[in-house]
Amino acid sequence: MRVAITGSTGLIGSALVQALRWAGDEVVRLVRHAPTSPDQRQYDPARRTIADVGLNDVDAVVNLAGASIAGGRWTEAYKKSLLDSRIETTETVVANLSADGRCQRFLSGSAIGYYGPTGDTAVDESSPAGHDFLADLVVAWEAAAEKAPVPTVLLRTGHVMSPRGGYIGKQLIPFQLGLGGPVADGQHVVSWISLDDEVAAIRSLLDSEITGPVNLTAPHPVTNARWTKALGRALRRPTVIPFPLPVARAIFGGQFVTEAMLSSQNVLPGRLTESGFAFTDTEIEPTMERLFRD
């Protein structure tokens, strides 16, 4: 299979590129800048164009591009960049797909932010969208992808677990120093997935006939307090100091803290489970131990 990928340098994208190549697939990396290697192809989101033959020589596209949700303070300008970076790239891919072309599979990035805060109530792909900023962003992102003229999957990804970034990301150094701890009372629910399962699920969906939204989350969400203990235990470090919310608010702003850090989301992988997908990581404690042992 020949697969085009946007966002190929990100945490998920780079792991997916490696996994596909190991499996013998070919990868075309779609980039905004001028190509610096033979596997790169430039796209122009302003003009909605892709250089050379566009997408006419690939079998599938995986669209993972977008500015990091935690990449900066949530000013109005940064929130606009979060939306624009996703919509413009998605619209570019969609504009270069054809119902009768070679490419007949489109996997487009999305997120469990679609559901908004759910508290302790479990939700799956049949549940409605939320009403906060992140939910509105994801709804618009998915709406752009759904205009594609080929079978399309919406990858509603949870918090990705990896020592190299994702949800652990900037929290890792404080935890390694023994300064990690729960956020607030630690009772908000974290819907997570290991990077290995994220990549395996995407590869599985490339080969399936599933379309529409698919939750990429592990079967057993956990509270932030349990997640904190699991990471601390894997690192052999204490986790008794609560994360200072005033610091987070100073860095990211109150809206980010409320909607991202403290949002409780109990999201289940209904369609993945129904498809028979075999998770490698289902419980947070052994997952953390494996991630920091390997």
Number of CB atoms found within 10 A of residue 38's CB:
7
- State how far the Cα of 24 lies from the Cα of 14, in Å rounded to an integer: 16
Query: Domain segments of the chain: what residues?
Result: 2-291
Q: Give pLDDT, residue 248.
A: 75
Kindly report the average pLDDT of the chain as a whole number: 95
Structure token pair of residue 89: 């790239």
CATH number of 2-291: 3.40.50.720
Q: Give pLDDT, residue 170.
A: 82
Which of 162, 154, 182 is CA-nearest to residue 238? 182
Tell me how far apart the 2 most distant CA atoms of the chain are, in Å. Answer: 58
Mean per-residue pLDDT for 113-137?
97
| pLDDT tens for each residue of 2-53 | 999 999 999 999 999 999 999 999 999 999 999 999 999 999 999 999 999 9
- State how far the Cα of 232 lies from the Cα of 241, in Å rounded to an integer: 11
Answer yes or no: pTM beyond 0.75: yes
Q: Give pLDDT, residue 243.
A: 81
Would you say residue 251 has pLDDT above 80? Answer: no
